[in-house]
Amino acid sequence: WERCQPPRRKGINTAAGQGRQVGTQEKQVLGDLEMPLARREMETLFQEQPETGNQYLEDALLRSYLKTHLPPKVLEEVNQDLERFGNRLLTKIRPLGRECELNPPVFRQYDAWGQRVDHIVTCSAWRRIKEIAAEEGLIAEAYERRYSNWSRLHQAVKLYLFSSSSGGFNCPLAMTDGAAKVIEALGIPGSLKNAFDHLTSRDPKKFWTSGQWMTERRGGSDVANGTETVARKQPDGTYRLYGFKWFTSAADSDVALTLARVEDTEGRVKEGSGGLSLFFLKVRDEEGKLNSIQVQRLKDKLGTRQMATAELWLHGATAELISAEGRGVASISNMLNITRIHNIIGAVASMRRMISLSREYARRRVAFGKLLKDHPLHMQTIARMEVQTRGAFLLLMEIVRLLGLVETDTSSEQDQLLLRLLIPVAKLYTGKQASAVVIEAMESFGGQGYMEDTGLPVIVRDTLVLSIWEGTTNILSLDVLRSLTKSQGQVMAVFFSTVQKKLELASSTVKLERSVKRTRDAVSRLARFMQAAGTKRALTMELAARDFSYTLARIYAGS
């Protein structure tokens, strides 16, 4: 009962001993608290909603990074585009994203006359965001290469700003980008030229999104042993696919890439990864009918509810073999790199969004007689989240900078090795970072952070999947070890030399002396571990893989 009583005026120390004046907002709050209980508008909360403005203009670190790295002419054009895009996000896209959250997709299996239609019904906001994604060139930007090696970074920044307002549409864009990358890596063969043009189009009427149907009942990451779908060659050279896809994100996409095992003339298939081939298929035919595909159900997920994730039966779906037979796993490596980078973008974006709201709330919320921003412990908590987010952001920018060099054939062998290492490292680490940061940020709102209609729980739920999508933490930690093995240790030599160069630059700044020393100490400990690991069994390294990957992420982000 005592906790339910309104605080008395004298219990709120407004200015005495504080050396500051009470703001207009505080006066209004305190005045409301003086009113008799019966006169108050009890249906409203005595707090203001935290609101942010143009995300680009408010992101000082992003703008500083671009100013530091982009050539002047590129910076001028990119800066104008991002400021304009920031306004569109604020006024148009964010409300659409919220509408998607409130109106998730619905599965309509039969029509009124009992005919099976398997129709996934999405809201108009979801379809409008798809159009906006095309208009903004959120995929096209990376493949037009207007800014040469900086085009990929420009695209990544737009996706970073878009992600937390997209209503979950960042996921189909990740898979679309991945599909476009696979087709480009194959040399854009004639049979796929039309598909590539649609996937990278700026025309909303032509733009396609792609799914990636890899997960089956027996396995997620273990596609080598978990894929049961078979492909039967037809006289016209196409294939018919038969199987069950257990988890297909953005099931309303226009096309998909999927793995299957090619049957020989006697109906036999080769097991293991060597038996997997990559196929391209259209989800619907020219009449809009499903391509011998049945939707079993939509998944009931913890988060990303704005997006239709389905279980699909393939009953002879027509498809085109696009990899060499048995080279499916190798062919999807380009796609996995892209989708993992999108995962990193989503992680950094969710952290930035929650911290921006938390900072804004701290400027408005009065507790114990003063604003939250005037409580040192509260600000220390936000500052620690900010450091995590800045480190993750700089790691992301480093990765897309390197990718831009690789895509324009201006990278060195060292750049390529470093990119191979940093993608799994950053994906696994930022996925974990994001989960921790958004939950901490939610707590900074007190009970309000737990209220569904604030929109904060949506961000938390959607963030939690980022440590699972595109490979769990353990799967990616083992991938980090594979990068060491395949490069015969070269990748670590590049890692150490790159970090040392960054620390040498930083050592000339007096304020950074302590940080440089701590980072160098961490590098020395890592070097000693690597030296000792050479005498250890493989099991020892596997058990250390997770902590080893975390260490790489912290050292590189820190430096």
User: Tokens representing 513?
Assistant: 């002396």
Same domain, yes or no: 235 and 118: no
Q: What is the pLDDT of residue 31?
A: 53
Q: CB-based contacts of 374: which residues, under 8 Å, 6+ apart? A: 18, 20
Give the amino acid at 208: W
Same domain, yes or no: 162 and 143: yes
Distance CA 167, CA 99 (A): 8
* Domain assignment of residue 184, yes or no: yes
* Domain assignment of residue 436, yes or no: no
User: Tokens representing 144?
Assistant: 């037009």
Of the residues 200, 219, 246, which one is the last residue of a structural domain?
Answer: 200
User: Tokens representing 95?
Assistant: 């409300």
Instruction: Count Cβ atoms below 10 Å from residue 186 Cβ, excluding itself.
Output: 17
Distance CA 60, CA 55 (A): 10
Same domain, yes or no: 115 and 195: yes
Of the residues 306, 327, 348, which one is the last residue of a structural domain?
Answer: 327
* Residue 95's CATH number: 1.10.540
Same domain, yes or no: 195 and 75: yes
Same domain, yes or no: 245 and 154: no
Phi-psi region of 211 (alpha: psi -120 to 50; beta: other; left: phi over 0): beta
107 to each of 110, 294, 433, how far by Cα in Å? 9, 12, 34
Whose tokens are 């990451």? That residue is 221
Q: Are 121 and 295 in contact (CB under 8 A)?
A: no
Of the residues 200, 220, 249, which one is the last residue of a structural domain?
Answer: 200
Vertex 145, ends 479 and 249: CA angle to 5°?
45
User: Tokens representing 52?
Assistant: 């942010």
Same domain, yes or no: 253 and 152: no
Instruction: Count Cβ atoms below 10 Å from residue 4 Cβ, excluding itself.
Output: 5
Give the residues of the chain that fall short of pLDDT 50. 1-22, 29
Same domain, yes or no: 68 and 179: yes
Coil, helix or strand for 381?
Answer: helix
Phi-psi region of 372 (alpha: psi -120 to 50; beta: other; left: phi over 0): alpha
Helix axes 376-407, 60-69, angle to 10 degrees: 30
Distance CA 458, CA 303 (A): 7
End-to-end CA distance of the chain: 53
Same domain, yes or no: 229 and 267: yes
Coil, helix or strand for 411?
Answer: coil
Rounded to 5 degrees, what are φ and ψ at 259? -100, 145
What is the radius of gyration, based on Cα positions, of the chain? 26
Nearest to 402 by CA among 106, 207, 186, 152: 152
* Domain assignment of residue 358, yes or no: no
Q: Are 552 and 418 in contact (CB under 8 A)?
A: no
* Chain segment 171-219, per-residue pLDDT in tens: 999 999 999 999 999 999 999 999 999 999 999 999 999 999 999 988 7
Q: What is the pLDDT of residue 11?
A: 38
* Domain assignment of residue 258, yes or no: yes
Segments forming the whole domain that contains residue 122: 60-200
Helical ranges in 373-472 per DSSP H: 376-407, 413-443, 456-464
Distance CA 361, CA 352 (A): 14
* Domain assignment of residue 50, yes or no: no
- The string of DSSP codes covering 188-234 is --HHHHHHHHHHT-S-TTT---EEEE-BBTTBSS-HHHH---EEEE-
Instruction: Count Cβ atoms below 10 Å from residue 119 Cβ, excluding itself.
Output: 14
Same domain, yes or no: 118 and 236: no
Give the amino acid at 80: Q
Instruction: Identify the helix (H) or strand (E) that includes residue 119.
Output: strand 116-121
- The string of DSSP codes covering 125-154 is HHHHHHHHHHHTTTTHHHHH-TTGGGHHHH
Distance CA 282, CA 204 (A): 18
Whose tokens are 């005037």? That residue is 374
Given 3-state DSSP classes, what are the helix, strand and coil percentages for the chain, each rounded to the nearest 5? 60, 15, 30
* Domain assignment of residue 48, yes or no: no
Distance CA 299, CA 310 (A): 6
- Please give the tally of structural domains in the chain: 3
Same domain, yes or no: 222 and 152: no
Instruction: Count Cβ atoms below 10 Å from residue 65 Cβ, excluding itself.
Output: 18
* Residue 234's CATH number: 2.40.110.20
Q: Are 155 and 143 in contact (CB under 8 A)?
A: no
Same domain, yes or no: 169 and 282: no
* Domain assignment of residue 394, yes or no: no
Q: Are 239 and 321 in contact (CB under 8 A)?
A: yes
User: Tokens representing 407?
Assistant: 């895509």
Q: CA-CA-CA-CA torsion for 228, 233, 238, 241, nearest 10 degrees?
A: -20
* Domain assignment of residue 109, yes or no: yes
Q: What is the pLDDT of residue 15?
A: 38
Give the amino acid at 499: V
Q: What is the pLDDT of residue 37?
A: 52
User: Tokens representing 37?
Assistant: 């209980």
- Give the torsion sign (CA, 530, 535, 540, 542): positive
Q: What is the pLDDT of residue 46?
A: 63
Burial 484-517 (b: 16+ CB within 10 A, else e): beebeeebbebbeebbeebbeebeeeeeeeeebe
379 to each of 319, 372, 386, 444, 546, how far by Cα in Å? 56, 8, 10, 10, 31
Same domain, yes or no: 188 and 229: no
